[in-house]
Amino acid sequence: MSEISANRRLLEHYYEECLNKGDLDAVYAKAVPEHVSHGTVAEGFEGLEHLREWVRIQRASFPDLHVTVDEWIEEGDSKIVQRFTARGSHTGEDYHGIPASGRSFEIWGIVIDHFKDGKITESWFSMDGMELAKQLGVFG
C-alpha cells in the first residue's frame, strides 16, 4: 500500500470539513486566493470566494449533503483526479431556481484539482446536471 500524499490528505479534509460538515471557512486553508473554478456556478464571486460560495449553495440547498470519493488518481505532486458520489436531500433553499422538493438524490461526478506549493490552484468539476434535475423532480 502506498503512502497517502499531502495533497490527497488536504482534499480528504476539504471533502469532510467543507462539503460534508459545512465548514465554509475551511476552504481558506486549502486553496490559493486566486483559485480558478471550472464547471461550478456561484455568480458574482471570483477566486477563492467563488469556491466558498459554491460550497455554501450546495450546503444550503442540501443540508444533509454527503460526498464520498470513490477513486483517486494522482499525477505527481501537481494534479489529483477524484471520482465521487454525492448524496443528499433537497430540503433547504432553492437550488438554482429549483424549489426544495424534499427528494433525495445520488449522483456521481469527476473533479480534477491542480496544486502548487500544497494548495489548490485550479479545479475542473463535472457532474450530470440533467440527472440531478431529474432526481429532484424537475421533469415531473
Average pLDDT over residues 106-128: 97
What pLDDT, on a 0 to 100 scale, did the predictor assign at position 30?
Answer: 92
Q: Report CA dihedral (28, 31, 32, 36) to the nearest 10 degrees.
A: -120
Check whether 39 has a pLDDT greater than 80. yes
Q: What is the pLDDT of residue 44?
A: 86
In a domain, 78, yes or no: yes
* Average pLDDT estimate for 17-43: 93
Q: With 60 as the cut, is the pLDDT of residue 24 above it?
A: yes
Tell me how far apart the alpha carbons of residues 54 and 17 are, in angstroms, rounded to a whole number: 15
Number of domains, the chain: 1
Q: Would residue 47 count as lying in a domain?
A: yes
Range of the domain at 36: 6-135
Least confident of 36-45, 50-59, 87-96, 111-120: 36-45
The mean pLDDT value for 114-128 works out to: 96
Q: Identify the H or E element spanning 4.
A: none
Residue among 69, 46, 54, 68 at smallest CA distance from 22? 54
Domain assignment of residue 120, yes or no:
yes
Is the residue at 53 inside a domain?
Answer: yes
Can you give the CATH number for the domain in which 65 is found? Answer: 3.10.450.50
